[in-house]
Chains A and B, each alone.
Chain A
Amino acid sequence: MARARFDIRSQPGFGTIALFTFALLYLPIVTLVVYAFNASDSLSSWGGFSLHWFAAAAQNQAVQDAAWRSLIIAASAATMATIAATMAAIATTRTPPYPGLGFKYAFINLPLMVPEIVTAVALLIVFARVKVWTGYSGLGYLILAHTAFCIPFAYLPIRARLEGMDQSLERAAADLYAPPWQVFRRVTLPLLRPGIIAGFMLAFVISLDDVVISEFVKSGGQDTLPTYMLGQLRRAVTPEINAIAAAFLALSVVLVTIFFFINRKEA
Chain B
Amino acid sequence: MPEPAAVPDTRIAVECRGIVKQFGEGPNALRALDDVSVAIREKEFFTLLGPSGCGKTTLLRMIAGFEYPTEGSIRLHGEDIAGLPPFKRPINTVFQSYALFPHLTVWENVAFGLQMLGRPKAEIAARVAEMLKLVHMEELAQRRTDQISGGQGQRVALARALAPAPKVLLLDEPLSALDYKLRKEMQIELKRMQSETGITFIFVTHDQEEALTMSDRIAVMSKGKVLQIGTPWDIYDKPAERFVADFIGETNFLATTLLGIEAGIARVRLPSGVEMSATLAEGYVPSGAATLVVRPEHARVVPAGGPTADQPSGQLSGTVENVVYFGTDTHIHVRLDEGFTFMVRQQNSRSQSCGVTVGERVGIVIAPDAAQVLRD
Name the contact of A177 in the complex, choosing from B64, B99, B100, B116 (C-beta under 8 A). Answer: B116
Query: Smallest distance from the beta carbon of B263 to chain A beta carbons, Å?
Result: 51
- A 157-184 to B, binary, CB cutoff 8 A, 1 in contact else 0: 0000000001011011111111100110
B145 to chain A, nearest CB (A): 11
Contacts of B100 in A (CB 8 A): 172
Chain A residues, Cβ within 8 Å of B161: 175-176
Contacts of B102 in A (CB 8 A): 169, 191
On whether the beta carbons of A179 and B97 are closer than 8 Å, the reply is no
User: Which single member of A166, A174, A187 contacts B87 (CB below 8 Å)?
Assistant: A174
Interchain CB contact under 8 A, A169 and B101: yes
| CB neighbours of A174 from chain B (8 A) | 65-66, 85-87
Q: Which residues of B sit under 8 angstroms from A182, Cβ to Cβ? A: 116
Tell me which residues across on chain B come within 8 A of A183, comparing CB atoms.
87
A187 to B86, Cβ gap below 8 A? no
Asked whether A178 and B99 contact (CB < 8 A) given A171-B86, A172-B93, the answer is: no
Interface 0/1 of B91-106, CB less than 8 Å to A = 1110101011111000
Chain A residues bordering chain B, tally (CB within 8 A): 18
Residues of B in contact, count (CB < 8 Å): 23
Residue A220 interfacial (CB < 8 Å): no
Residue from the list B65, B85, B101, B103 in contact with A172, Cβ < 8 A: B101
Whole-angstrom distance between the alpha carbons of A191 and B102 in the complex?
A: 8
A176→B99 contact, CB < 8 A: no
Chain B residues with Cβ below 8 Å from A169 are: 99, 101-102
A171 touches B103 (CB 8 A): no
Chain B's nearest CB lies how many Å from the CB of A267?
A: 11
Chain A CB within 10 A, most for which of B64, B116, B117: B116
- Does B160 sit at the interface, judged by CB under 8 A? yes
Q: Which residue of B lies closest to A189 (CB)?
A: B103
**Contacting residues, chain A, for B164 (C-beta < 8 A):** 176-177
Chain A proximity of B102: nearest CB distance (Å): 7
B116 touching A175 by the CB < 8 A rule?
Answer: no
Please give the residue numbers on chain B whose beta carbons come within 8 Å of chain A beta carbons, in ascending order: 64-66, 85-87, 91-93, 95, 97, 99-103, 112-113, 116-117, 160-161, 164
8 closest A-B pairs by CB? A176-B113, A172-B99, A177-B116, A168-B99, A174-B86, A190-B103, A178-B116, A175-B93
